[in-house]
Amino acid sequence: MNLIKLYLLIPFLFINSLTAQDNSESYWNLLLKNETKLALNNFKKVNKKTDKSLESLISKEILRNENGLIYNASKDFIKDFKSFTNYEYYLYAFWNNPFIFDNYLATGFHNKNSKVMDAFNADEIKNTVVKYSIKYIQRQKTETIETLKAIKLN
């Protein structure tokens, strides 16, 4: 009798796992087909609360960027981003994306990316690569501000 239940349970679990993947893959497939608005709408239907996982939080920002919403990240994105224990790896991976530090090497430091840089405390970061990268970028920002102040005084 238990063997019959097992044979019935295995196909159910297999089918259930396949349908669970369809929801997340559907908006990525739409994005690959350049259906950006539809992909974002589909994502919002599937993910009512994006703050439950770091992956969905970042996925939302990627989809927003693909829809031309690149000036600012979603409200409280950095606060929500930092609330996850493993955010450091994602911080480094998405370092130059508009929702983190933007492309500061090309655009320089401005109000948006400066506020994001100030939101991170290098001493709180455990990963040494990320820690010293934050220290470096914050020092570069400080030196740039000091140089601009010196130019204005002359």
pLDDT for residue 18: 46
What's the pTM value of the predicted model, to 2 decimals?
0.72
Cβ neighbours around 119 below 10 Å, total: 11
Domain positions in the chain are 77-154
What is the pLDDT at residue 75?
A: 79
3-49 pLDDT, tens digit per residue, is: 665 455 565 555 544 444 445 678 889 988 988 899 998 998 888 77
> pLDDT at position 73, please?
72
Task: Give the mean model confidence (pLDDT) for residues 82-96.
Answer: 92
